[in-house]
Amino acid sequence: MDCIVAKITDIIFHNDSNAYTVAAAETEDEEITVVGNLPMPDPGRTFRLEGEWKNHPVYGEQFAFSSFEEVMPETAEGIEAFLASGVLRGIGRKTAAAIVSKFGKDTLRIIEETPTRLTEIEGIGPKKALAVEAAYRAHRELAEITIYFQQFGITADYVIKLYQVYGSNTIFVIQQNPYQLVDDIFGIGFRKADALARKLGVPSDDEYRIKSAVKFVLMYYANEGNTYLPQAMLCEKTAALLEIEMSEISDILVRMAFEGDIRIENLEGSTVVFLQAYYMAEQNVCKRLVGLCGARLRPVGTDVGSMAEQVAAETGIQMSENQKFAINAAISNGVTVITGGPGTGKTTIINTIIRLLKQSGLEVAIAAPTGRAAKRITETSGYAASTIHRLLEYYYSESENCMRFGKTEEDPLDADAVIIDEASMVDLMLMNALVSAIKPGTRFILVGDADQLPSVGAGNVLRDIIDSELIYSVRLTEIFRQAKESMIVVNAHRINRGEYPECNEKDKDFFMMRRQSEKEMLATVIELCAKRLPAYYKDFLPVRDIQVLTPVRKGTLGCINLNRELQAVLNPPRADLAEKKYADRLFRVNDKVMQIRNNYQREWKKSDFSEGTGVFNGDVGFVHDIENEFNRLVVVFDEDRYVTYEFSELDELELAYAVTVHKSQGSEFPVVVMPVSWFPPVLATRNLLYTAVTRGKTAVVLVGSESKLNAMVDNNRITSRYSGLCPRLRQFLEKVTPDGEQA
């Protein structure tokens, strides 16, 4: 292993995500090229590098370093170059020259020990002097912390995140409990924290390790949709993860329950374990729904049937008896569920209910889980709808370091009725926030398709509410005449009944292009998106209006590879299109992208100068600009909501030419294209196919094997979720006597 001291003179390449750097540097003897992971490699800084010389076949001799340590300059010239490098905010070349001219070799000592002396320099006041001292101290601390953690394989970008959270206490906090990282740092999971802990010598049966693993396993299964796990299963999974005996976990579970991290409960004769937050949410949702069901409602102005007939006459819409029944139920009950597939008139019912309530002078709040679904309600009803988050006035609490809602039990929604569309997408935690903000006496109307995939988040809320039989539910089954003309609608219902879809009828909207190999399927999907569909639907733009859906993320037909291939043909490299490579992703101006996690703090601005915060998992936009000189990328969502991302924050974005079916929930696209091949049976299911098909508005094109398509229809496997909401609601039902009184 060789060791050199080199001053960075120019940056040839730098990756913000992992700090990989190729830089020109100079030693006492020569100019060289150095390569390795180096955070903030500003020209003018000097480093002691350990590594070895390598001969690159294209770029020649390079020094590949595996560790580094900054060498603080000692000469006046070196100090001036260091300050002028931009490493300390507020000091440019002119100010750096003035400071060094005044203090010479003592400059850094004065900044560190007596920063108030900087006010002797013209243009530096007391506030700026202290800011320079704080920046220098932070720089030195970060350098020491980076050196400490590089021995454990923690990359520079994560070190910066650690320092932002823990500051000067970073090393102490991690030495005390490295598993704290899992709770505090996005992107550091249990496995990474555990690897660090083992290098620090933490024993395998350490209490912090077992507690963190228990929470990791519960959260892993929560991300799979479960609100709890059977205790035996939890112990088995945790023991396997830690490679310890199950008996060592049981005692820790009891301790965690006493400390309030988890809840151990007997549910339907089985001992189960919840993360405390999910247990409290289930309890509260159940209590609130029961309360809303039993509350006295503000009456409507006249007979509901007569009003419904009047609305039908004014709108020219002929309603079925079942639709009228659903409307009457929504007006008459505290909580009502209206469910049905495409073409069964859910939109007509929503619009009629709104008009009935408005005519009676009642305030109606209308919302959906996603911005796209809310926009669709507004377009079809003429009434303003919002996302559930905006309805509840979400905000980020700096003091609590988490998201909060402005509308709560203490300050509830000022509405006589709350209508939620696309209710199958609502997970337990969002439902908990929603029902907490609805005051008794408010009509709560849930509209959705219970046969679609359940929510991405934990819980099985809509299905649990229906199955409990406590809440009044109406299922719509009749397909209306106009909807029957669409094979998308007809085939969606056929699939839902377990019947094979009818494809390629002349002048219809549902097609199957039969291909056998995945290579052929991939080529056909690309050709459809780039040429054939845009040529046929001339008003549609390939990137904006054609959406590829797939059940999986990985493999030839997974969204990762599909995005790579589609980007190459739909938005190829051009000299005038800036681009940025981040980890395994390449972003280019005009790319279609998706936000992949909720960020309640993310700021956005509109061209009318209005602004706000919050970008959510599943939001789709387009890369508007990439400013490499400023290390930032701008995405426009909803045509006029501009969001800026630092390059280090690009882990929140993915390409979205192709997305998984799960991610498409709540959306509607002019044209849907989906490959149909062998997929894992847990994903190649009837309700996944049903969900995909119902996303298409003008056309659905399936590409692949008819036998695999039929196998998906035959696979009516509904992945069961561990959810306690249904049995909790049933417990209330069992306590009610036939005359409606509590037993």
For 258-300, what is the HEC assignment?
HHCCEEEEEECCEEEEEEHHHHHHHHHHHHHHHHHHHCCCCCC
**Which position has the token pair 């520079």?**
156
Tens of pLDDT, residues 656-696: 999 999 888 878 899 999 999 999 998 999 999 999 999 99
Average pLDDT over residues 384-388: 90
721: alpha, beta or left? (left if phi > 0; alpha if psi -120 to 50): beta
Cα–Cα distance, 542 to 524 (Å, whole number): 15
Is the pLDDT at 396 greater than 80? The verdict is: no
Beta carbons of 721 and 460 less than 8 angstroms apart: yes
Cα–Cα distance, 172 to 52 (Å, whole number): 32
> What is the pLDDT at residue 233?
95
Cα–Cα distance, 25 to 8 (Å, whole number): 4
Cα 382 to its chain centre, rounded Å, is 30
Is the pLDDT at 401 greater than 70? The verdict is: no
Average pLDDT over residues 485-497: 90
For the ranges 25-39, 91-105, 275-289, the one whose mean pLDDT is highest? 275-289
233: alpha, beta or left? (left if phi > 0; alpha if psi -120 to 50): alpha
> What is the pLDDT at residue 84?
81
Average pLDDT, the chain: 87
> What is the pLDDT at residue 483?
61
Is the pLDDT at 355 greater than 50? The verdict is: yes
Cα 30 to its chain centre, rounded Å, is 49
Average pLDDT over residues 506-532: 93
Supply the DSSP symbol for 333.
S
- What percent of the chain has pLDDT above 70? 95
DSSP letters, 7-57, are EEEEEEEE-TTT-EEEEEEE-SS-EEEEEEE-SS--TT-EEEEEEEEEEET
Angle between helices 346-359 and 304-315 (to 10 degrees): 120
Please provide the distance, in angstroms rounded to a whole number, between the alpha carbons at the two ends of the chain: 80
> What is the pLDDT at residue 558?
95
337 forms bridges with which residues in the sheet? 446, 473
> What is the pLDDT at residue 742?
45
Of 275, 215, 273, 207, nearest to 244 by C-alpha is 207
Cα–Cα distance, 510 to 490 (Å, whole number): 10
Q: Is 67 helix (H, G, I), strand (E, B) or coil?
A: strand
Tens of pLDDT, residues 693-735: 999 999 999 999 999 999 999 998 876 899 999 999 998 766 6
> What is the pLDDT at residue 334?
94
> What is the pLDDT at residue 127?
87
Is the pLDDT at 739 greater than 50? The verdict is: no
Tens of pLDDT, residues 551-599: 999 999 999 999 999 999 999 999 999 999 888 889 999 999 999 888 8
Sheet with strand 696-704: strands edge to edge = 510-514, 696-704, 669-676, 546-550, 658-660
Is the pLDDT at 481 greater than 80? The verdict is: no
- Phi, psi at residue 485, to the nearest 5°? -75, -15
Confidence of residue 737 (pLDDT cuts 50, 70, 90): very low
Cα–Cα distance, 672 to 440 (Å, whole number): 42
Cα–Cα distance, 380 to 88 (Å, whole number): 54
Cα–Cα distance, 665 to 616 (Å, whole number): 13
Is the pLDDT at 529 greater than 60? The verdict is: yes
For the ranges 300-309, 366-375, 399-408, the one whose mean pLDDT is highest? 366-375
pTM, two decimal places: 0.77
**C-beta atoms surrounding 13 within 10 Å:** 10
> What is the pLDDT at residue 429?
95
Structure tokens at 140: 């030195």
319: alpha, beta or left? (left if phi > 0; alpha if psi -120 to 50): beta
Cβ neighbours for 382, distance < 8 A, ≥ 6 positions apart: 351
Number of residues written out for the chain: 743
- Phi, psi at residue 430, to the nearest 5°? -70, -40
- What percent of the chain has pLDDT above 90? 45
**C-beta atoms surrounding 707 within 10 Å:** 11
Tens of pLDDT, residues 51-71: 899 887 777 889 998 878 888
727 forms bridges with which residues in the sheet? none
User: Exposed (0-12), middle (13-18) or buried (19+): which is 368, by Cβ within 10 Å?
Assistant: buried
Average pLDDT over residues 351-360: 88
Average pLDDT over residues 202-219: 90
Structure tokens at 447: 């509209």
> What is the pLDDT at residue 147?
75
* Three-point CA angle 484, 488, 490, nearest 5°: 40
> What is the pLDDT at residue 391?
94
> What is the pLDDT at residue 315?
67
At 571, which helix (H) or strand (E)? none
Cα–Cα distance, 449 to 340 (Å, whole number): 5
> What is the pLDDT at residue 60?
83
Confidence of residue 16 (pLDDT cuts 50, 70, 90): low
Beta carbons of 259 and 207 less than 8 angstroms apart: no
The answer to which of 136-150, 269-283, 504-518 has the lowest mean pLDDT is: 136-150
Q: Is 198 helix (H, G, I), strand (E, B) or coil?
A: helix
Task: Output Rg (C-alpha) for the chain, integer angstroms.
Answer: 30
